[in-house]
């Protein structure tokens, strides 16, 4: 039974044969294909469904999902609950009317699992009942009634699982745990894992894709108590926790899914400090790393929060797991991120509790509405500032060109702001808060976001404590390199004038191969630890952050800056023109905050230095660096120490987020030819992992090319 790595390294074996067998079946899409057989529940048999309000329709759909979704008990499972409707895999509420989906669902959030573990679902019900009394007869009342109806649906689904497990001796522990949780607080580690999974499974059964967040902080104290009392051994705890991760593969379906099959935003965080500044790292931290190392499960992309005081033991363990490849582990520099959040205005205790949004964007978990608005900065330069390379375009000097570009960039950001402002009702002088226009119902996730029940407002209508809209600049390296190329060729070397150069670009370098090669190879671009290029990147990001700050707080949300592409460089390639730094139109270029492929001529340390010269603290929702390492370069003890040193350097230089993939291109090419042999082979794509064989060829080729092959 093999669980493939991206570099043919043999994985250790710690878990039982039965658990490994369960993992093999799940990761080889036994349960995913079973899920797809029942796509959704139909609402056509409900009289007058089409006359109901949107919220009433939603409540009826959730009720029917809870009553009719198949109950699945996997052979040998240690925890129970399953999201068994295939339409949920498509990011929709899995209920249809006249054959069509009715509502999309919610992602890019990490919900408040902590309250469920500590207080139970009955406490959430009590809070909703209290709030309903407070807002009786007011506009919040229908939402709070919806909260209670969705809690009823949760209870129905919970009871169906109790009925399915009852009188089955092999599942006696599952049944006993579900009698306690999630309705009541968890009292031990096993119950806590079951409570976390069951709540998560219900939320995504209803179509949503939530992140898990800081799993070791959520579960750590329960495990430490059980270990001290002798109620559980470390090996038993590892088996129980492994089943959580295995159950998370229940949507693995195999086949060609474009950007991959493991991107449901259920990311996990490990380590770091808590709200009081105390280290979180505990036994659960290391158990998670054990499980990831053994199985390479890519459905829970995991990020470790590191700081300047992170113990050597954890750094070494992170390096060991990273070395298996697959990009499953990434790292945050939490010192830098906490400073960034505090400088932006978050309280220190909230900043210390940061997690991701289900991908890698930074937010306060269980309390944040988050959406990001990505745009291609290279297209702004090419089509706005340089007017699609009209030969009449000219600037007297580089500074004039750059300032026009920043004006065009600001217009782009203003357009993002205006769109999101349109989602609000006009504000009058009498109103103290902004009111969102009605949005699609999303009561299930609203139950688990602080502020929603208390305010009587849904997740999409201003309920959470924090409401964040973040413009994300994409194509950063491509834009910086283009600007640098023009600066050097036109304004410093004066080899051509801008009106002479732009027609060459418009013709996609036709007949100018020598010049194209010169532009590609003569200069050191962003990612080579070249101050001129890197400080231009810093300047551009600072100006971008200033543009965002201009509009921050103008409406009912925060408006911080961030950097990402999330693979959009593929779709953007079709609309981009030839780039001044020697690239032809249609090429797939830089991802996230990483260099343009082929321009990172020096080591990965040079790439990190370039990245860290930017004022990353102004990118409040994050700026991801994608790095690649060659397996042969990090073998043995010396290689392990090299990874540890790299991580320490990333922290010392003040990074933000780094995802390293350790990939042997020969393995990837073999997987292209023989996908049946590599069903579990994982790679880091952008903010997520995917099984390599479920990427379409365009994505696969991009991954291979980024690794230099």
State which H helix or E strand residue 612 sits in: helix 604-613
**318 touches 305 (CB < 8 A):** no
Half-sphere CA count of 565, side-chain side, radius 13 A: 28
Reply yes or no on whether the pLDDT at 707 is more than 70: no
Please state, in angstroms and rounded to a whole number, the distance separating the CA atoms of residues 470 and 429.
27
The pLDDT of residue 28: 86
Task: Calculate helix-pair angle for 215-229, 234-247, nearest 10 degrees.
Answer: 150
Q: Does 352 share its domain with 438?
A: no
Q: How far apart are the first and last CA of the chain?
A: 29
Q: Does 218 share its domain with 240?
A: yes
5 belongs to a structural domain: no
The position carrying tokens 């609000």 is 424
Reply yes or no on whether the pLDDT at 429 is more than 80: no
The pLDDT of residue 8: 62
Q: Does 131 share its domain with 243?
A: yes
Q: Does 564 share its domain with 446?
A: yes
Q: Kindly report, residue by residue over 267-318, the tens digit of the pLDDT.
A: 999 999 999 999 999 999 999 999 999 998 888 889 999 999 999 999 999 9
171 belongs to a structural domain: yes
Q: pLDDT tier at 3 (50, 70, 90 boundaries)?
A: low
Reply yes or no on whether the pLDDT at 565 is more than 60: yes
Q: How would you label 667-688 residue by residue, b for 16+ Cβ within 10 Å and e otherwise?
A: bbeebbeebeebbbbbbbbbbb
C-alpha triplet 15, 17, 18: angle, nearest 5°: 100
- Count the Cβ atoms, other than its own, within 10 Å of residue 270: 27
Q: Which among 582, 600, 618 is the end of a domain?
A: 600
Average per-residue pLDDT in the chain? 93
Please state, in angstroms and rounded to a whole number, the distance separating the CA atoms of residues 66 and 154.
7
Answer positive or negative: Cα dihedral of 459, 461, 462, 467: positive
Please state, in angstroms and rounded to a whole number, the distance separating the CA atoms of residues 630 and 665.
9
**Nearest Cα to Cα of residue 119 among 226, 220, 199:** 199
Q: Does 300 share its domain with 423?
A: no
495 belongs to a structural domain: yes
Reply yes or no on whether the pLDDT at 709 is more than 60: no
Least confident span in 250-254, 359-363, 592-596: 250-254
Distance of CA 319 to the CA centre of its chain: 21
Q: Does 447 share its domain with 491?
A: yes
C-alpha triplet 31, 35, 36: angle, nearest 5°: 120
219 belongs to a structural domain: yes
C-alpha triplet 326, 6, 201: angle, nearest 5°: 35
Reply yes or no on whether the pLDDT at 452 is more than 60: yes
Q: Does 451 share its domain with 503?
A: yes
| Residue, of 628 and 79, whose pLDDT is higher | 79
Q: Kindly report, residue by residue over 357-379, the tens digit of the pLDDT.
A: 878 999 999 999 999 999 999 99
| Residue, of 64 and 259, whose pLDDT is higher | 64
Reply yes or no on whether the pLDDT at 203 is more than 80: yes
The position carrying tokens 């990402």 is 564
Mean of pLDDT values over 52-65: 98
Q: pLDDT tier at 663 (50, 70, 90 boundaries)?
A: confident
Please state, in angstroms and rounded to a whole number, the distance separating the CA atoms of residues 212 and 196.
9
Q: Which among 569, 600, 631 is the end of a domain?
A: 600
Least confident span in 495-509, 571-585, 695-709: 695-709
The pLDDT of residue 693: 74
What range does the domain containing 477 cover?
368-600
Q: Kindly report, residue by residue over 210-219, the tens digit of the pLDDT.
A: 999 999 999 9
3-state secondary structure of 310: coil
Q: Does 398 share its domain with 292?
A: no
- Count the Cβ atoms, other than its own, within 10 Å of residue 84: 22
Answer positive or negative: Cα dihedral of 63, 64, 67, 70: negative
CATH number at residue 62: 3.20.70.20
Helices (H), 276-355: 283-295, 312-322, 334-344, 348-352
Please state, in angstroms and rounded to a whole number, the distance separating the CA atoms of residues 465 and 469.
14
Reply yes or no on whether the pLDDT at 660 is more than 80: yes
438 belongs to a structural domain: yes
588 belongs to a structural domain: yes
- Residue 472 DSSP label: E
Cα dihedral: 559, 561, 566, 568 (round 10): 90
% of the chain with per-residue pLDDT over 70:
95
Half-sphere CA count of 599, side-chain side, radius 13 A: 33
Q: Does 372 share its domain with 350?
A: no
Reply yes or no on whether the pLDDT at 172 is more than 80: yes
**660 touches 688 (CB < 8 A):** no
Q: Kindly report, residue by residue over 595-615, the tens digit of the pLDDT.
A: 988 888 788 999 999 999 999
Please state, in angstroms and rounded to a whole number, the distance separating the CA atoms of residues 522 and 245.
48
- Residue 596 DSSP label: P
Q: Does 380 share its domain with 286?
A: no
Reply yes or no on whether the pLDDT at 174 is more than 90: yes
Q: pLDDT tier at 192 (50, 70, 90 boundaries)?
A: very high
Q: Which among 568, 600, 632 is the end of a domain?
A: 600
Reply yes or no on whether the pLDDT at 458 is more than 70: yes
Residues linked to residue 662 through DSSP beta bridges, in sequence order: 629
The pLDDT of residue 686: 64
Q: Kindly report, residue by residue over 130-160, the tens digit of the pLDDT.
A: 999 999 999 999 999 999 999 999 999 999 9
**Nearest Cα to Cα of residue 166 among 157, 175, 154, 158:** 175
Q: Does 381 share its domain with 331?
A: no
Please state, in angstroms and rounded to a whole number, the distance separating the CA atoms of residues 96 and 98.
7
The pLDDT of residue 85: 98
Q: Does 445 share its domain with 314?
A: no
Q: Kindly report, residue by residue over 484-524, the tens digit of the pLDDT.
A: 999 999 999 999 999 999 999 999 999 999 999 999 999 99
621 belongs to a structural domain: no
229 belongs to a structural domain: yes
Least confident span in 173-182, 231-240, 614-623, 657-666: 657-666
Q: How many domains does the chain have?
A: 2
Residues linked to residue 363 through DSSP beta bridges, in sequence order: 355
DSSP 158-207: HHHHHHHHTT-GGGHHHHHHHHHTTTS---SHHHHHHHHHHHHHHHHHTT
| Residue, of 388 and 565, whose pLDDT is higher | 388
The pLDDT of residue 687: 62
The pLDDT of residue 253: 83
């Amino acid at each position: 039974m093999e669980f493939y790595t991206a570099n043919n390294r043999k994985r250790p074996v710690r878990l039982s044969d039965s658990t490994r067998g369960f993992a093999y079946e799940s990761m080889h899409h036994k349960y995913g294909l079973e899920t797809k057989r029942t796509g959704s529940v139909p609402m056509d048999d409900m009289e007058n469904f089409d006359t109901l309000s949107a919220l009433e329709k939603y409540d009826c759909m959730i009720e029917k999902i809870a009553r009719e979704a198949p109950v699945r008990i996997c052979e040998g499972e240690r925890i129970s609950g399953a999201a068994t409707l295939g339409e949920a895999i498509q990011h929709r509420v899995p209920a249809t009317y006249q054959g069509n989906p009715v509502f999309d669902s919610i992602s890019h959030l990490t919900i408040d699992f902590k309250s469920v573990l500590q207080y139970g679902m009955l406490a959430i019900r009590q809070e909703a009942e209290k709030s309903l009394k407070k807002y009786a007869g007011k506009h919040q009342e229908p939402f709070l009634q919806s909260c209670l109806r969705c809690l009823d649906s949760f209870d129905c689904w919970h009871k169906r699982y109790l009925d399915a497990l009852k009188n089955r001796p092999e599942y006696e522990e599952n049944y006993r745990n579900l009698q306690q949780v999630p309705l009541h607080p968890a009292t031990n580690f096993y119950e806590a894992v079951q409570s976390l999974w069951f709540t998560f499974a219900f939320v995504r059964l209803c179509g949503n894709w939530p992140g898990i967040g800081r799993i070791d902080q959520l579960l750590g104290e329960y495990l430490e108590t059980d270990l001290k009392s002798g109620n559980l051994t470390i090996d038993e705890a590892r088996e129980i926790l492994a089943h959580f991760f295995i159950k998370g593969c229940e949507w693995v379906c195999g086949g060609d899914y474009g950007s991959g099959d493991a991107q449901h935003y259920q990311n996990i965080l490990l380590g770091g400090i808590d709200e009081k500044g105390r280290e979180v790292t505990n036994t659960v931290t290391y158990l998670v790393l054990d499980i990831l190392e053994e199985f390479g499960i890519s459905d829970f992309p995991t990020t470790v929060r590191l700081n300047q005081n992170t113990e050597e033991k954890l750094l070494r363990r992170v390096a060991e797991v990273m070395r298996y490849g697959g990009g499953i582990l990434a790292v945050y520099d939490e010192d830098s991120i906490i400073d960034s959040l505090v400088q932006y205005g978050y309280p220190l205790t909230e900043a210390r509790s940061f997690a991701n949004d289900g991908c890698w964007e930074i937010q306060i978990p269980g309390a944040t509405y988050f959406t990001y608005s990505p745009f291609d900065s290279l297209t702004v330069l090419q089509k706005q500032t340089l007017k699609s390379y009209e030969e009449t375009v000219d600037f007297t000097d580089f500074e004039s060109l750059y300032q026009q570009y920043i004006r065009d960039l600001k217009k782009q950001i203003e357009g993002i702001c205006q769109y999101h402002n349109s989602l609000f009702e006009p504000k009058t002088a009498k109103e103290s808060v902004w009111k969102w226009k009605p949005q699609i119902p999303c009561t299930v996730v609203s139950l688990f976001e602080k502020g929603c029940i208390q305010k009587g407002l849904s997740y999409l209508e201003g309920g959470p404590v924090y409401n964040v809209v973040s413009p994300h600049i994409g194509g950063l390296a491509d834009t910086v390199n283009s600007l640098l190329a023009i600066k050097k060729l036109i304004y410093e070397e004066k080899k051509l004038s801008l009106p002479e150069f732009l027609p060459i670009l418009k013709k996609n370098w036709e007949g100018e191969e020598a010049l194209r090669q010169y532009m590609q190879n003569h200069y050191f671009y962003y990612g080579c630890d070249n101050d001129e290029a890197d400080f231009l990147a810093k300047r551009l990001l600072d100006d971008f952050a200033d543009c965002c700050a201009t509009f921050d707080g103008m409406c009912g949300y925060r408006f911080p800056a961030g950097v990402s592409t999330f693979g959009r460089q593929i779709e953007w390639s079709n609309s981009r023109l030839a780039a001044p730094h020697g690239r032809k139109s249609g090429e797939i270029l830089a991802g996230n905050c990483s260099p343009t492929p082929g321009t990172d001529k020096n080591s990965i340390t040079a790439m990190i230095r370039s990245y860290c010269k930017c004022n990353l603290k102004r990118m409040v929702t994050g700026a991801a660096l994608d790095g690649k390492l060659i397996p042969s370069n990090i073998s043995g003890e010396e290689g392990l120490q090299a990874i540890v040193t790299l991580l320490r350097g990333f922290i010392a230089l003040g990074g933000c987020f780094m995802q390293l993939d350790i990939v042997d291109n020969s393995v990837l090419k073999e997987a292209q030819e023989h996908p049946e042999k590599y069903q579990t082979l994982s790679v880091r794509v952008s903010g997520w992992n995917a099984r390599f064989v479920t990427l379409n060829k365009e994505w696969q080729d991009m991954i291979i090319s980024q690794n230099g092959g």
